[in-house]
Amino acid sequence: QSVLTQPPSVSGAPGQRVTISCTGSSSNIGAGYDVHWYQQLPGTAPKLLIYGNSNRPSGVPDRFSGSKSGTSASLAITGLQAEDEADYYCQSYDSSLSGWMFGGGTKLTVL
Amino acid sequence: EVQLVESGGGLVQPGGSLRLSCAASGFTFSNFAMNWVRQAPGKGLEWVSAISGSGDATYYADSVKGRFTISRDSSKNTLYLQINTLRAEDTAVYYCAKARGSTRANYHMDVWGKGTTVTVSS
C-alpha cells in the first residue's frame, strides 16, 4: 500500500482530456515536498514527464501538465493520442518514512 | 549523451547474493545523488535506496534495510547495489536513476537506465 494514492486506471478517447490524481498526506505532499510524474510505456524504463509539480523537461509536449494543491497533485493530459497509452506514476519525498515514494501507478487506456 | 547502464542481474537461489552495477556517462557523476528503484513483475515502482553525490550519506527503504548496501565509485563513474539474503519478493527489474533537485530530499529522477532483472528462485 503506497503512501501516495493513484487511481488504478483511467481512460479516454483520442482528443479528449484526462486527469490522474495523486493523493498524499501531511508528511509528503502536504509538507511542501514537490511532486514529480513519470511515464512508463510498455516494456520500457520510466521517463520523467513532469518535475517540481508543474515543470516539463525539454521534449515533453505541452499537452502534459501538472498541478499541486494541499495534500494532492494532478497530471492532466489534453488532446489524448494513442501513443499516450502507458502507466503513469507520481513521486515525492516522505519525511515520516525518510524516503522517496512512488504512487501505485495509473494505467491510461486510449479508447 | 547522459546514459546509465545497469548490469549484474541474474537467477539466484533464495538466500543468495548479487552485486548490481550501474555505469554512468555524460555527466559529472560525483555531483549527483543516485538511486535504485525496482519493479516486481506486473507491479509498480518501488524506491529501494539512494546515495549522496559524495557517497557519505545512504538511505534505504524499510523493506531492504539490513540486506541491501548502496555504494559508488566516482573514479569508475559506477553505482553499486549489494543485495544479500535474497528472497522471492526481491524478484524485480532494478533500475538506477540519477537525482536532480534543489535540496537533499526534494528531488526528481531525471535519467533512468534500462534496468537489470533479478530473479530469485530455487
- Condensed to tens digits (0 to 9), the pLDDT of residues B37-87 reads 999 999 999 999 999 999 999 999 999 999 999 999 999 999 999 999 999
The mean per-residue pLDDT over the stretch A90-107 comes to 96
pLDDT recorded at residue B27 = 96
Q: How many A-B residue pairs are in contact by the CB < 8 A criterion?
A: 68
| Cell numbers describing residue A4 | 501516495
Based on DSSP, count helices (H) and strands (E) in chain B, helices before strands: 0, 11
The answer, yes or no, to whether residue A57 has pLDDT greater than 80, is yes
CA B114 vs CA A40, A102, B42: distances in Å:
11, 18, 16
Q: Do A97 and B46 touch (CB under 8 A)?
A: no
User: What pLDDT is recorded for position A43?
Assistant: 94
Q: What is the dihedral of CA B107, B108, B114, B116, to 10 degrees?
A: 40
**Are the beta carbons of B106 and A93 separated by less than 8 Å?**
yes
Q: Which residues of B touch A52 (CB under 8 A)?
A: 108
Q: In which band, very low, low, confident or very high, does the pLDDT at B101 lie, cut at 50, 70 and 90?
A: confident
Q: Percent of chain B at pLDDT above 90? A: 95
Residue in chain A lying closest to B65 (CA): A99
pLDDT of residue B105: 85
At A36 the three-state DSSP class reads: strand
| C-alpha dist (Å) from residue B17 to A34, B12, B88, B109 | 35, 7, 12, 27
Q: Does A26 touch chain B (CB under 8 A)?
A: no
Say whether B71 sits in a helix, a strand or coil.
Answer: strand
Q: Using the predicted structure, report yes or no on whether residue A1 has a pLDDT greater than 80.
A: no
Q: What is the DSSP letter of A84?
A: G
Cβ <8 Å between B47 and A101: yes
Per the CB < 8 Å rule, is B95 touching A45?
A: yes
Distance CA B121, CA B118 (A): 10
Backbone angles phi, psi at A69, to 5 degrees: -150, 125
**What is the pLDDT averaged over residues A51-57?**
97
CA A51/CA A37 separation, integer angstroms: 6
Using the predicted structure, report yes or no on whether residue A46 has a pLDDT greater than 90.
Answer: yes
At A51 the pLDDT is 97
Q: Where are the beta strands (DSSP E) in chain A?
A: 9-12, 18-23, 36-40, 47-50, 64-69, 72-77, 86-94, 99-102, 106-110
Looking at residue B104, its pLDDT comes to 78
- Average predicted confidence (pLDDT) for chain B: 96
- Percent of chain A surpassing pLDDT 70: 100
Scanning A1-111, the segments in alpha helix (DSSP H) are none
CB < 8 Å & 24+ apart, contacts of B63-70? B64/B90, B68/B36, B70/B34, B70/B36
